[in-house]
Structures are given as C-alpha cells and as structure tokens.
Amino acid sequence: MKTPTNEKFAVVTGASQGLGKEFCIELAKRKNNLILISLPNQNLNKLSKEISRKYNVETVCFETDLSCDDNLKELTNHINHNYEINILINNAGIGGTRNFEKVDMDYINKIIQVNVKATSILTHQLLPNLKKQSDAYILNVSSMAAHTPIGYKTVYPASKSFIHSFSLGLASELKNTSVSVSVVNPGAMKTNPDVTLRTEKQGFFGKITLLEPQKVAKYSIKQLLKKERLIVVNPLMWFLTILLPSRIKVPIMTRILKREVSDA
C-alpha cells in the first residue's frame, strides 16, 4: 500500500547504534524524515519512535540482514514503491580484528556481503528514486583503514578501499545529475564500550585517534549537504596515512592491531 505522504525521506543503514544512530539524530535535527535500517533485535523500533517524538519527524524502520540478497531486493522494492528518498547513507558495516587463518568462511563472507555488496546493491536499486529529486545525496562510510593494508584485519581494509573507490567513481559518473556522492573516512570511534576498550588496547596511538560519533555525524552531514566528495574528519591521521609509504605504515599498524588479538 502506498504510504500517504509526499514528504521525502533519508535512508540510513546500520541505524540502531554508534555512528548510524548519530546520523539519524543529526538528520532529524534538520527536520529530515527517516527510514532506519538495522539488523533484527537491536531495539530499532524504540529508537525510531524516540527520534520521531523528540524531533517531530516521521520515521519508519526495517529490521533485516543486509548480507542476504533476497532481503536487499525486498527492502529496496518496498522503499521504491512507498517512499520518495533524497538522502541515502550507507553506514552499515562489519569489521573485527582476527587472525585470518583462524576465522571461518562465514566471517569473511559477511564482511564482503555487507561492506561491499550491500552498499553497491542498495545504491544501485535506490538511485532511480534519488534521481527523481531536484537535489539528492549519497554518503558512503569508508574508513581510514581504506588507505593501508593491516594484518589481523585483512579483509576489512580491502572492503573499505572498495567503498572509497566506488564512491569517488560514482561521484564522477553522476556529476551532471541531481545526485551528489560523498565518502567519509573516519577512524576508530567510541561507538560502544567494547569498541572503545579494544581500541584503547592499541596503546597511545589508539587513544589519540578515537573519535566521538556525534561529532563525526554532525560534520559529515554538514559536508554532505555542501556536496563535498571526500569528507575528512581527522586531517592529521588522514595525511599520515596517505603520506607514509606502505613499507612503513603496514608493519606499524599490524603491530598495533596485534594487541587486540589474544591468540595471535
């Protein structure tokens, strides 16, 4: 059934916590209606209602596993048939620090399915909807890890390199359309106590690079609406990551991340 509204919506994946939650709050503060998407059993409905009530915007939510192709097809078909969207934020992602030879196939497949495939498919399927708007925006969340291979992460930085390249390529392709594409490359964030603890185990380097998700979200949305293609939230780390040659930064980052892996 067609939703009885002409209001446009912003779509945010990985919306239940961390950076995704802060994106939703920042967009709601700007009076954007929201479509929140996350995995099941993450209290998304409660968050959706709280945001709607507090900021007086319309919100809807969908709990689904984006690693499943059928779920992606069902979700995008439903959105396209029922909502007009002018913002898409591909925030959902899977990471982790593990010994590569000790992980199972499902671990590898999930990272690729969510970080690479889901971002690509969601963007592809929702793009015609976005192009109907006079101004529309896509924000893809990459990572500082996109610019350096790292032992004990391996697949994750490679998946984020894809997001970085995909975003800038699509931005160029859509240059003369109503849709602008941006990519943000944040580092580690205080998204939850577990992530904070793991990052702080990296020592001094980890502690000084931890970012507040609220600040990242606020700055990212501001730059997104300015149609900034590459959004840099930590200039110092950005330049260090870009300028240091791989023969130096890869061993350093691998030694730092090894501290997170108790059985490495």
Residue (of 6, 7, 32, 5) closest to 224 by Cα position: 32
Q: Which of 83, 152, 156, 219 does the annotation list as catalytic? A: 156
Separation of alpha carbons 114 and 191, rounded Å: 18
Q: Which residues sit opposite 141 in a β-bridge?
A: 184
Q: Which residues sit opposite 136 in a β-bridge?
A: 179
For residues 161 and 146, is the Cβ–Cβ distance under 8 A?
Answer: yes
Q: What are phi and psi of 138, to 5 degrees?
A: -120, 130
Separation of alpha carbons 25 and 33, rounded Å: 11
Separation of alpha carbons 237 and 64, rounded Å: 34
Q: What is the rounded end-to-end Cα distance, in angstroms, of the chain?
A: 53
Separation of alpha carbons 148 and 181, rounded Å: 23
Place of tokens 């975003």: 167
For residues 13 and 20, is the Cβ–Cβ distance under 8 A?
Answer: yes
Separation of alpha carbons 263 and 170, rounded Å: 40
Tokens of 171: 């931005």
Sequence-ordered alpha helix ranges (H) in the chain? 18-29, 44-55, 69-82, 105-111, 119-131, 155-173, 193-200, 204-209, 213-225, 235-243, 246-258
Question: Does the active-site annotation cover 156?
Answer: yes
Residues annotated as catalytic are 156
